[in-house]
Structure 1
């Protein structure tokens, strides 16, 4: 099991809830009550209350007597996927080959695969209308050492149709290729987040453990988004290696990425 961060428990819970707010997890039903959260995190209600006070102080949630706790629109918790142009994205060469290679060398457990309406953030990333049908899949990939990643993917139904059994048999990118998709490349953002109770259970780590967070949009040769992936990886079993080279004149040399490879164990 992973070790918890050296932070007070209420601060760990605050960080987990903040990340869930950024993902839009509570947009429809609101934030669970103190009693439910206390059971989820296995702590006293006073600990949850302190975490909620921090969220209120940050302007992320609004507590309404009799109505519950709700995300504050326009705060940092409004959307979990950064709109295009508001954050820098890295274009990574050789990425798709690495992804397919990893898919073939690991085992996968499909937790869920269903057709859903695209949320506003998913619709924006995939260039479809909100509510448009997309395939949402939840998968856990593992190596011989144990669970490696918890992956959520979205694919527009207009791009490809596939079943849960298909996902258990082949990597998703290979299924898309079989459906006629010609891949052009991908854009990817790498950051970090903390494991909540659900993710911690599937990845066999402690709640609050640090994970590598990957947001990836795969495009076809016409630059049409064909897949959105939100991946959480155990950093002790997965890493990215980026090769850099120096280019430019002697007084303005910069580091430029040449290739990215994925390593896992």
Structure 2
């Protein structure tokens, strides 16, 4: 972990996993402790603390001997019912009084710049959808996220839809199969624009996430750049020791990787 990061390793892991859950990942299986220790390059104790945080919010269910499962908006474990589309979790957050709202700050069709074209594997100048979202809890703003989507995954997406559901859910509801993603996590200082939206001083250290999501044909369907204010997630909890078994062969095991130094 970088010395400039103002939060412990377990909290960094927690933030990344929570964002993945909110975006609709881990519908079929949730990675086991051993797999997560390999992915994040941290200790098992660190992973368990991060998972305990997620469990306390009702986002996952941990059962001894059966591993960890994502919990959907109805309170049922993922994979326990019919349906192939990953349900979004915003309703679950409301149900447990962890109010999360999304405000779409910008929603526009633009011509792809060189960096956007490279990430989405489209021609420079091709039309893409650019969306800027601000995610907040009852305490205030939490994340400032910019996403770019190519034509294959952005047809018909409206501003009101993007304020109600995660982008990945909308993409899959439109018939695009989400298969994998690549992700990097680093630290970044808030510039004047981001600082204003996140209500922090300019130069504040933020958790920065960059992610490219691919469909079943390995085509990019979303490029996301997110900046997160970690202090909004802090809270107290009781931790208990767990001897849960690890699960293996998770569909997202090798494609979605984050390294914390």
TM-score range, shorter chain: 0.5 to 0.7
Residue in 2 aligned with 1:136? 130
In the aligned structure 2, how far is the partner of 1:98 from the partner of 1:205?
Answer: 23
- SS of the aligned residue for 2:196 comes to helix
- Pick one of 142, 151, 154 that aligns with 1:148: 142
Residue in 2 aligned with 1:127? 121
Q: Count how many residue pairs are aligned between Structure 1 and Structure 2.
A: 154
How does 1:159-238 map onto structure 2 within 5 Å?
Answer: 159-161=153-155, 162-238=157-233
Kindly indicate whether the alpha-carbon contact (under 8 Å) linking 1:183 and 1:221 is maintained by their aligned counterparts in 2.
yes
TM-score by length of 1: 0.53
Structure 1 pair 194–165 and aligned structure 2 pair: CA distance change class (3 A): same
Instruction: Tell me which protein shows more strand as a share of its residues.
Output: 1
CA deviations over 1:33-80 (Å, ceiling 9, x no partner): xxxxxxxxxxxxxxxxxxxxxxxxxxxxxxxxxxxxxxxxxxxxxxxx
Q: What runs of 5+ residues in structure 2 fail to find an aligned partner?
A: 5-15, 25-87, 94-99, 235-252
In the aligned structure 2, how far is the partner of 1:142 from the partner of 1:165?
Answer: 16
Residue in 1 aligned with 2:108? 114
Structure 1 pair 153–171 and aligned structure 2 pair: CA distance change class (3 A): same
Question: Offset at 1:160?
Answer: 2.6
Structure 1 pair 109–94 and aligned structure 2 pair: CA distance change class (3 A): closer
Structure 1 pair 154–178 and aligned structure 2 pair: CA distance change class (3 A): same
Q: What runs of 5+ residues in structure 1 fail to find an aligned partner?
A: 6-91, 240-255
Kindly indicate whether the alpha-carbon contact (under 8 Å) linking 1:93 and 1:260 is maintained by their aligned counterparts in 2.
no
In the aligned structure 1, how far is the partner of 2:194 from the partner of 2:133?
Answer: 11
- SS of the aligned residue for 1:180 comes to coil
Kindly indicate whether the alpha-carbon contact (under 8 Å) linking 1:94 and 1:260 is maintained by their aligned counterparts in 2.
no
In the aligned structure 2, how far is the partner of 1:232 from the partner of 1:94?
Answer: 14
Kindly indicate whether the alpha-carbon contact (under 8 Å) linking 2:144 and 2:226 is maintained by their aligned counterparts in 1.
yes
How does 1:1-265 map onto structure 2 within 5 Å?
Answer: 96-100=20-24, 105=93, 106-161=100-155, 162-238=157-233
Q: Which has the higher contact order (CA 8 A, sep 6+)?
A: 2
TM-score by length of 2: 0.53
Question: Offset at 1:169?
Answer: 2.1
In the aligned structure 2, how far is the partner of 1:93 from the partner of 1:107?
Answer: 18
Structure 1 pair 174–213 and aligned structure 2 pair: CA distance change class (3 A): same
Which of 1 and 2 has greater Rg? 1
- SS of the aligned residue for 1:128 comes to coil
Kindly indicate whether the alpha-carbon contact (under 8 Å) linking 1:123 and 1:129 is maintained by their aligned counterparts in 2.
yes
CA deviations over 1:99-157 (Å, ceiling 9, x no partner): 33565532101101000011101100111001111000011001122111000000002
